[in-house]
Amino acid sequence: MAEISTIARPYAVAAFNLGKEQKALAKWSEMLGFAAAVASDAQMQVYIQDPKVVSSELQDTFLKVCDDKLNEHGQNLIKVLVEYNRMAILPAIAIAFEELKALDEGTLDAQIIAAAKPSAAAVKDLVKRLEVKFGKKIEANVSVDSELIGGIKIIVGDTVIDASVKGQLQNLAYSLSA
């Protein structure tokens, strides 16, 4: 079976292209975020996965829940997803859309995980270095994970920079076992 992100990407690209063409990327971001939140709700997930629920019922119910939060194009996306039994990937579509939007706007999201809370100056310096490395504006999300023992781990898109003590120990253990 194909990866969810592989299935979701064409829908996200289509929504992104339409949003860009209509100069409505913010509206699409809002619509997809809301629809993904509805689809992620535990009760809605049970309803979506219930084989007894016919697609027309699912479509009507979902669109009623979303009410006026979706424009005509957003409603059409929901109709297509229901028709092809792909409502479960709606959150992945929203994530892929946001990645495309950020890339288009020239920003990248970076997850900075440190063993101890870094100072604001250290984070600012690190963000500047990441912006030089990736050539894009970096939006940093800083978190603390004491399991790293020491050091820092940075995730930017598909790139992982692991300069943590835990990562170094894992690499050492792997190289010794080979």
In this structure, what CATH number is given to the domain that contains residue 18? 1.10.520.20
Place of tokens 């999300």: 141
Tell me, yes or no, whether 90 and 129 share the same domain: no
* Chain segment 42-84, per-residue pLDDT in tens: 999 999 999 999 999 999 999 999 989 999 999 999 999 999 9
**In this predicted model, what pLDDT tens digit does every residue of 16-43 receive, in sequence order?**
999 999 999 999 999 999 999 999 999 9
> CA–CA distance from 24 to each of 28, 29, 163 (Å)?
6, 9, 40
Closest-CA residue to 126 (of 108, 107, 140): 140
Tell me which of 51, 81, 102 is where a domain ends. 102
Asked whether residue 90 falls in the same domain as residue 141, the answer is no
The last residue of a domain, from among 69, 87, 102: 102
pTM above 0.85, yes or no: no
Question: What type of residue is 160?
Answer: V
Considering the domain architecture, whether residues 88 and 122 belong to the same structural domain is answered as no
